[in-house]
Amino acid sequence: MMQQPAELSSAVAILSETNFFRGLTPVQLDAVAELTQFHTCAEAEQLYRIGQPAPLVYVLVVGTVRLSVGFGERNACAGDILRRGDLFGWAAMTPRCNLRIATAVCLTACTFLTIDGAGLVRLMDGDHSLGYRLMCRLNDLISGTLTAFAGG
């Protein structure tokens, strides 16, 4: 679905404010924004659970989300509370193993930018500078998630 110009401009502004996408060129931000859609969820709504396919990456725009990491069908007691600007659902950027390793539940009503994961991977394949930058950030995000999980 094509976004309206105002939505696209808003998506670019939101992406440019996130740690994950900050510093991309205007052309790169526009290309990523073309892959986004706004999505809303109610309080207590589950976005995804462990083991489900991972087609989308999420950027939290409004609200609070609990992310509970797990193994198999089990959630760990440890988790993370996500807030505005946080990127999650990164399994969509790992095409050979893009199953959810966490459960994401809205603690409040939320608004997200959803990003087509396969489209983002294609962009990264076509623009190696973008691909390298996002893979470095993805590595930092995964390492931070695992470190937080291990630390409880």
Eight-class DSSP state of 53 = B
Up-side HSE of residue 98: CA atoms within 13 Å toward CB? 17
Q: Is residue 6 part of a domain?
A: no
The arrangement of strands across the sheet holding 74-82 comes to: 46-48, 102-106, 65-71, 74-82
In the predicted model, what is the mean pLDDT of residues 60-86?
A: 78
Is residue 27 in some structural domain?
no
pLDDT digit string (tens) for 53-66?
Answer: 999 999 999 999 99
The structure tokens 């409880």 sit at 152
**Does residue 13 lie within any of the structural domains?**
no
Average pLDDT, the chain: 88
Distances (CA, A) of 110 to 42, 91, 126, 141: 6, 20, 32, 21
pLDDT of the residue at 2: 47
Q: Which domain holds residue 44?
A: 37-151
Residue 101 and residue 24: Cα distance in Å, rounded?
27
| Distance between CA atoms of residues 101 and 124, nearest Å | 22
What's the total number of domains in the chain?
A: 1
pLDDT-based confidence at residue 151 (cuts at 50, 70, 90): low
Supply 30's token pair. Answer: 């526009």
103 lies in some domain: yes
* 12 occurs within a structural domain: no
- Give the domain CATH number at 61: 2.60.120.10
**92 in a structural domain:** yes
Say if 100 falls within a structural domain.
yes
